[in-house]
Amino acid sequence: MTDHKPYMKPYEEEIKTFSWDISKNELGYKDGDVINIGEYCTDRICRMGKGEKLALIWEGYTGEEKRYTFNDMRQLTNSIAKYLTELGIKPGERVCLFMDKVPELYFGFLGVLKMGAIVQPLFSAFGPESLLTRLQDAGTSAIFTQKKHLPKVRNILKDLPGLNHIIVVDDDGVKPLREKETAFNMDKAERVDSFDIYPSKAETPSVLHYTSGTTGKPKGAQHVHYSLISQYMTAKYVLDIKDDDIYWCTADPGWVTGTSYGIIGAWSNGATQCVLDAGFKSESWYKFIEKHKISMWYSAPTAIRALMKDGTETAKKFDLSSLRHLASVGEPLNAEAVIWSKEAFGIMFHDTFWQTETGCIVVSNYPGMKIKPGSMGKPFPGIEVTVVDLKTSVPIEKKGVVGMIAIKPGWPSMIRTYWNNEITYKSKFQNGWYLCGDRASIDEEGYFWFVGRDDDVINTGGHLVGPFEIESALLEHPAVAESAAIGKPDPINMEVVKAFITLKPGFDQTKMLELEIMNFVRKKLSALAMPQEIEFVDTLPKTRSGKIMRRVLRAQEWGEEIGDISTLENDM
């Protein structure tokens, strides 16, 4: 590593002079220009003379390895863009990526953007029902998938009349493909050297990320190409990715971290990044770092807690001296985890806070800034963040008082709407502030301290799961009369789903039934959404207007004060 000096100036200095113009100037972008994320992450990096630099080092679960340079990536993303155009996909249509973390997922993302369509990445772990809800909502026209996930798509196809193209990236011709299905083999595809990239402008829609809320179906958070201005700059200043860094973002691109920083932020900075398409195991993660000499590592508290559980000794078995900067996102990063990382790796994890809706890191610990373990750090320069009163949405002046985290609208990567749901989007703004739905306080030195979410959304291992989706799935089971899903404490995942269920007459509260219901949800939605525990109850606490009071169940589970229950209809 040549230069260890952080890109960002000392915080107090940077905050005085920062403007998004720095990002625009570095990217050679002027207001009104064409701006296409696909182009910025590939062609532009090649024009800067880095065509032969490695863009992606990929490793599969069998140990197979693939490497692609920026020039490979430029050509292959062109191939995908051309292929989609020839299929008849038009700019603005939604193209879903439903794949494991294979190279096609990463290049597919940029290929879709290059031809002007909107890219909709979804976790390959989703079951047919989770997939259906999101494809129906977005009116998706094409989906990239792998053989192993194809049955899930076939299963729901009859309910998706607009889904005309199912593109299988690893078809081997053994079983015939069906109507609407087509094979595309990226590594064997004709390399397209020059493609007429769609001339998107700042406000052209780019990425549609589905995120869970408390009520209603998951919402499609709509981003635009201009988000690049924030993502490029935050990747540079917060993740501090240097030219000779080997970067590893452990997030799946089904989650915003995997696209904002696992694709856009990293590659617009011309970084070499590694992807490990395999499940979590401490030893294989350490081996991966050692083998590829990873220097910048962006991960999540759940993973860090799982590594901690396996002990410092496990970490010490490997040569992890290449690591020079660590960051984390997704859930509160406990002070113990920060201190442990210093013990295990000699450096501390830097907590970063943001959301699907913000598109980029908004509060963070910066390289070089004093870390207060347990704190999320300070607002990114150029983004005005505060905490506001829970009732009036007026900024709280007094230090240490808990309020809702609020951001002044206008940062480049803010979502522009929720797909077909402008009303919910508008409801996020009060008194001129965008409200995050998280509570925090700010201390005397301006550091943010996370308190908790302001709604019932369950954060399991950094993934947000909406209780509504789980409850809806539960209700489809023939034995379930009513249900309530909440998060219960868990040492590794912070929260896991617990469901409270009342049964229909004629059904008995048995262990067998509990397991059957759990499996029912896993198959429909995903393993993450599956309740880890089911408690059969005779009644659920409800408000007088009949709304299930998850808050009461949650408080019991966490051993907290229940608070005001004057609206409670029945006794527990």
Residues that bind ligand 6R9 (CB under 6 A): 211, 255-257, 329-333, 351-356, 376, 436-438, 450, 453, 459, 464
- Taking the complex as a whole, the smallest distance from the CB of residue 258 to ligand 6R9 amounts, in Å, to 10
Q: At what angle do helices 103-114 and 70-87 cross, to 10 degrees?
A: 60
Given the complex with ligand 6R9, which of 11 and 70 has the nearer CB atom?
A: 11
- Taking the complex as a whole, the smallest distance from the CB of residue 551 to ligand 6R9 amounts, in Å, to 16
Given the complex with ligand 6R9, which of 29 and 450 has the nearer CB atom?
A: 450
Given the complex with ligand 6R9, which of 80 and 405 has the nearer CB atom?
A: 405
Given the complex with ligand 6R9, which of 59 and 357 has the nearer CB atom?
A: 357
What is the C-alpha separation between 563 and 569, in angstroms, rounded? Answer: 15
What is the C-alpha separation between 270 and 27, in angstroms, rounded? Answer: 12
Q: At what angle do helices 467-475 and 128-138 cross, to 10 degrees?
A: 120
Give, as one character, the DSSP assignment of residue 527. T
At 295, is the secondary structure helix, strand, or coil?
coil
- Taking the complex as a whole, the smallest distance from the CB of residue 404 to ligand 6R9 amounts, in Å, to 11
Residue nearest to ligand 6R9 (CB): 356
Given the complex with ligand 6R9, which of 111 and 262 has the nearer CB atom?
A: 262
Residue 325, amino acid: H
- Taking the complex as a whole, the smallest distance from the CB of residue 548 to ligand 6R9 amounts, in Å, to 21
Which residue in the block uniquely carries the two structure tokens 């269920």? 501
Tell me the chain's radius of gyration from C-alpha atoms: 23
Six token digits for residue 168: 């299988």
- Taking the complex as a whole, the smallest distance from the CB of residue 542 to ligand 6R9 amounts, in Å, to 26
- Taking the complex as a whole, the smallest distance from the CB of residue 261 to ligand 6R9 amounts, in Å, to 9
CA 79 from chain center: how many Å? 27
Q: Report angle CA 310, 315, 316 to the nearest 5 degrees.
A: 130
- What pairing do the DSSP bridges indicate for beta strands 325-328 and 296-299? parallel
Given the complex with ligand 6R9, which of 197 and 435 has the nearer CB atom?
A: 435
Given the complex with ligand 6R9, which of 408 and 439 has the nearer CB atom?
A: 439
At 99, is the secondary structure helix, strand, or coil?
coil
Given the complex with ligand 6R9, which of 54 and 347 has the nearer CB atom?
A: 347
Six token digits for residue 276: 């490990």
Six token digits for residue 130: 């989770």
| CA distance from start to end of the chain | 61
**Secondary element (H or E) of residue 522:** helix 511-524
Six token digits for residue 368: 């070089």
Given the complex with ligand 6R9, which of 150 and 329 has the nearer CB atom?
A: 329
Q: Report angle CA 438, 384, 425 to the nearest 5 degrees.
A: 55
Given the complex with ligand 6R9, which of 494 and 534 has the nearer CB atom?
A: 494
| DSSP state string for 160-187 | -TT--EEEETT--SSS---TTEEE--TT
- Taking the complex as a whole, the smallest distance from the CB of residue 381 to ligand 6R9 amounts, in Å, to 18
CB 453 within 8 A of CB 462: no
- Taking the complex as a whole, the smallest distance from the CB of residue 487 to ligand 6R9 amounts, in Å, to 11
Give, as one character, the DSSP assignment of residue 419. T
- Taking the complex as a whole, the smallest distance from the CB of residue 374 to ligand 6R9 amounts, in Å, to 10
Q: Is the dihedral of CA 132, 134, 137, 143 positive or negative?
A: negative
- Taking the complex as a whole, the smallest distance from the CB of residue 330 to ligand 6R9 amounts, in Å, to 4
